[in-house]
Structure 1
């Protein structure tokens, strides 16, 4: 019996390592942020004025970051419209409180996703490297907080 446990553990461990490697490759872009997230002392929060200062001071990445922040507004509006409309239709036709709550959540997720797609095309985000701009902002913020600017 102990022999079977060691074989099954190695089988599970082998598959776990495979899954970990598979998903690690697909989410490798998260390594861009690890130096800001996995710190001994976390970076303090920034304000809207700090973001505007970066946008004004950075001629390449500033406008891209500003556009990415505008895209977030599309997502928020889409999520709000999706949540309210689906919950309203559900309540009108079913008068089910739990169904309305579920449709509110699902409508918010679907609406946010649709809003992000609209923003992607409307603001032409597919032409920009928004992740590089976000990383540059984080580097700028880190340097400013640590007094290196």
Structure 2
């Protein structure tokens, strides 16, 4: 006990705070551990096609529909991104005639539009009721087994 306290007191101010900061964010992003076994591989998984995803959706009655709904939500984000980018860049160009301003507005509008589109998808498709991380993990497990021939 005394050794642990002595070691703790010898750590610097910044090191103590960095460890707390790191622990805080590791806890917030712990869901990324679900994907680490697929990302941190010696040999990466090959790319899959839409037909592979459709095959999984048809083969898994529990996680397939959830994955299909999550894929539909991407369309909402893409539409929101296009609408946001074009409208904000249009307004910036109309009122400032600044090319760099319109370009920055285009980029920011795309990001904000994507976020807004995902929020609409979240409510319209009721994504908050679904465990999309589990569905994506099950797909990656299925894909790994299929590729490796298990």
TM-score w.r.t. the length of structure 2 is 0.91
Q: CA deviation at 1:18?
A: 1.1
Q: CA deviation at 1:119?
A: 0.4
Structure 1 residues 78-136: Cα deviation after superposition (integer angstroms, max 9, x where no partner): 00000000000100010011110110011001100000000011111111111100000
Alignment match, 1:55: 57
Q: CA deviation at 1:11?
A: 2.1
Q: Distance in 2 between matches of 1:120 and 1:134?
A: 17
Alignment match, 2:89: 87
Q: Distance in 2 between matches of 1:24 and 1:11?
A: 20
Q: Which runs of 5+ in 2 are unaligned?
A: 1-8
Equivalent pairs, count: 142
Alignment match, 2:27: 25
Q: CA deviation at 1:13?
A: 1.8
Q: Distance in 1 between matches of 2:24 and 2:125?
A: 32
Q: CA deviation at 1:10?
A: 2.4
| Pairing of 1:85-124 with structure 2 (within 5 A) | 85-124=87-126
Alignment match, 2:6: none
Q: What do you get for the CA RMSD once the two structures are aligned?
A: 1.4
